[in-house]
Amino acid sequence: MPAYRPPTGEMFALLEEVLEAGPTLAALSGAGDDPLPLLRDVLEEAGRFTAGQLAPLNRSGDEEGCRLENGVVRVPAGFDAAYAAFVAGGWGGLSQAPEWGGQGLPRAAQILLDEMIASANFSFGLFPGLTRGAVEAIERHASEELKALYLPKLVSGEWCGAMALTEAHAGTDLGLLRTRAEPQPDGSLRVTGGKIFITAGDHELAENIVHLVLARLPDAPPGVRGISLVLVPKYLPDAEGRPGARNAMSVGALERKMGIHASPTCVMNYDGATGWLVGAPHRGLAAMFTMMNAERLFVGIQGLGIAEAAYQGAVDYARERRQGRAAGQSGEGPQPILVHPDVKRMLLTIRAFTGAGRALALWVALRMEEAARHPDPGARAVAEGHVALLTPVIKAAFTDLGFEAAVLGQQVLGGHGYVREWGMEQLVRDARIAQIYEGTNGVQAMDLAGRKLAMEDGALPARFFALVRSEIEAGAAIPGAEHYTAPLAAALKRLEAATARLARRAARDPAETGAAAADYLRLFALVALGWMWVRMALRAMRKGAEATPRHQAWLDVARFFLARILPQSVALDLALSEGAAPLLALAEEAY
């Protein structure tokens, strides 16, 4: 089983040097004068916790899985103690509001913690991950009474959250859902219906589980405009927040899945369960989207975390396993397979993602901070626009690249990669879910190509492209920087052309958006990652004689990305230029 080494040095270098997070955070109210030393301590402590307490349970959790025993969900051995340590360490409330007992640390710290958890134990991360989404939805949309009763327990992690959206016949198309919520004289709702695919819908880690359930009120209009969000706790709390009577809800079954075996995926039955409306009647989808956007970024980070774990496992093997010799070299005995260029290709392909992916995620985290805390409403709106634009990119591209990274890491191990005890095949199985849940990556691509590009008359992508261009222009002052900036400039030009072309075509035929979406998102992600590689390379070049091996590595991996990965942008642009027609030609009966 691969040992996990939290890359806290790299994380901190990105924060400090590449993203200049110190001044950004210091300028935002509440972040303190020099927030970096505290962040560094938190990162180191998070590294110790995830590597020491969560990573050792990853393989055993996969083997043991979850069980449903007489209606009670049992998680694998050790998860209860690890979760208790998580709560005791205050990790649940790391970036949550101090008002509710959180530590109020920046989202950048949260994202790095999430990455480490995903690397160490992907399944474990779903318990607090869903809880945090629930906190965001309640914080923004629930009544003061519900907030006061539920948020302190959810923020501390004593209680957990769950999202109950999907029904057997209503997945991507939530407008079809049938779960009913009937108003009661006391102001509560009685919720009746069945939900599937409810991650962490039940377990014994927390003393209560708070479900956010999408349901229809009796007077609801049909479709997505008639959906309300209802808070349904497993145990009904008394006024002091002590869990009381068991609510009328139960687990019908646990899904048997390809991976994330340590995370219970529940079929939930609500049989007249008591709940309370969150937000306005019939406006539940908007409230749920608050939660889903938070979850989508979280899921993208899971892709990043699994890629880092795959990289570490593959590098360890490539250093230890001796087979053959480097081409053209003679000598005694076999060499570590790391000498073979094709092994380097696989490892560098992972690094080309993790290095810039982490930087991009941190950049988004800083924009989230601005969106929440910047004193200027205009700056808040711009930051929010960047987050909105990049959320589907990070969810879909990071999970696709995370899965590809897990597959490459497994490939480095050859036959051993296919054997369970080595732990690499689990990464592939676990990574696969992230491309599917929280809106499939096809749905994310439609969100980007359909909704986000069109927002504010196209201002969101235009503002983002301007940032990339300014980075390219900043390189003009550095001799030799054009080796890095020129390929990115060409790719940006292709992306801008593809964006304008898609807008023109989609106005004529709405099918053009769907036909372009997946390839367009990939093209967008390549430019966004290229932007971060150029940023890292320029920072490294500016170091001059003070450059460390880390800076040299940024330059070397940037070069690999720009030379061997970014050319995919040419192919994507060419494919996109052909439009929808070649994709729609085959008659549906001929499939």
Of 484-513, binders to its own copies (CB under 8 A) are 509-511, 513
Stretch of residues binding its own copies (CB under 8 A), selected from 37-45, 84-92, 225-233, 577-585: 577-585
Task: Restricting to residues 68-107, name those near its own copies by CB under 8 A.
Answer: none
Torsion of CA 277, 282, 287, 289, to 10 degrees: 140
How far apart CA 386 and CA 371 sit, in angstroms, is: 9
Stretch of residues binding its own copies (CB under 8 A), selected from 281-289, 367-375, 384-392, 433-441: 433-441
Residue window 147-186: x/- pattern of binding to its own copies, with contact defined by CB under 8 A = -------------------x--xxxxx--x----------
Angle 465-469-475 (CA atoms, 0-180°, nearest 5)? 155
Catalytic residue (one of 158, 167, 438, 512): 438
The answer to the question of residue 419 lying near its own copies (CB under 8 A) is: yes
Tell me the closest approach of the beta carbon of residue 459 to its own copies, in angstroms: 23
User: In terms of CB distance, is 460 or 562 closer to its own copies?
Assistant: 562
The answer to the question of residue 556 lying near its own copies (CB under 8 A) is: yes
Tell me the closest approach of the beta carbon of residue 324 to its own copies, in angstroms: 5
Residue 114 near residue 126, CB atoms below 8 Å? no
The answer to the question of residue 194 lying near its own copies (CB under 8 A) is: no
Residue 34, both tokens: 């020099």
Instruction: Choose, by CB under 8 A, the member of 68, 85, 326, 372 that binds its own copies.
Output: 326
Instruction: Choose, by CB under 8 A, the member of 218, 415, 479, 544 that binds its own copies.
Output: 415
Residue 431's nearest CA partner among 453, 401, 454, 458 is 401
Residue 498 near residue 523, CB atoms below 8 Å? yes
The DSSP string of 522-586 is HHHHHHHHHHHHHHHHHHHHHHGGG--HHHHHHHHHHHHIIIIITTHHHHHHHHHHT-SHHHH-S
Instruction: Choose, by CB under 8 A, the member of 246, 324, 375, 379 that binds its own copies.
Output: 324
Task: Restricting to residues 375-394, name those near its own copies by CB under 8 A.
Answer: none
How far apart CA 118 and CA 356 sit, in angstroms, is: 17
The answer to the question of residue 591 lying near its own copies (CB under 8 A) is: yes
Tell me the closest approach of the beta carbon of residue 340 to its own copies, in angstroms: 6
How far apart CA 11 and CA 45 sit, in angstroms, is: 13
Residue window 12-51: x/- pattern of binding to its own copies, with contact defined by CB under 8 A = ----------------------------------------
Beta bridge partner(s), residue 68 = 73
How far apart CA 208 and CA 3 sit, in angstroms, is: 33
How far apart CA 443 and CA 423 sit, in angstroms, is: 30
User: In terms of CB distance, is 208 or 263 closer to its own copies?
Assistant: 263
User: In terms of CB distance, is 281 or 442 closer to its own copies?
Assistant: 442
Beta bridge partner(s), residue 163 = 212
**CB crowding 201-220: b at 16 or more within 10 Å, else e:** bbbebbebbbbbbbbbbeeb
How far apart CA 361 and CA 355 sit, in angstroms, is: 10
The SS3 of residue 504 is helix
Torsion of CA 301, 306, 308, 312, to 10 degrees: 170
Q: What's the Rg (C-alpha) of the chain?
A: 24
The answer to the question of residue 427 lying near its own copies (CB under 8 A) is: no
User: In terms of CB distance, is 296 or 367 closer to its own copies?
Assistant: 296
Amino acid symbol at 342: D
Residue 493's nearest CA partner among 521, 515, 472, 517 is 472
The answer to the question of residue 123 lying near its own copies (CB under 8 A) is: no
Query: Does 546 qualify as catalytic in the annotation?
Result: no
Tell me the closest approach of the beta carbon of residue 300 to its own copies, in angstroms: 17
The answer to the question of residue 340 lying near its own copies (CB under 8 A) is: yes
Residue window 516-555: x/- pattern of binding to its own copies, with contact defined by CB under 8 A = -xxx-----------------------------x--xx-x
The SS3 of residue 188 is coil
User: In terms of CB distance, is 184 or 323 closer to its own copies?
Assistant: 323
Tell me the closest approach of the beta carbon of residue 327 to its own copies, in angstroms: 4
Instruction: Choose, by CB under 8 A, the member of 5, 442, 493, 543 that binds its own copies.
Output: 442
Stretch of residues binding its own copies (CB under 8 A), selected from 26-34, 129-137, 361-369, 561-569: 561-569
User: In terms of CB distance, is 2 or 237 closer to its own copies?
Assistant: 2
User: In terms of CB distance, is 247 or 426 closer to its own copies?
Assistant: 426
* Total of residues contacting its own copies (CB under 8 A): 100
Tell me the closest approach of the beta carbon of residue 506 to its own copies, in angstroms: 9
User: In terms of CB distance, is 255 or 384 closer to its own copies?
Assistant: 255
The residues annotated as belonging to the active site are 438
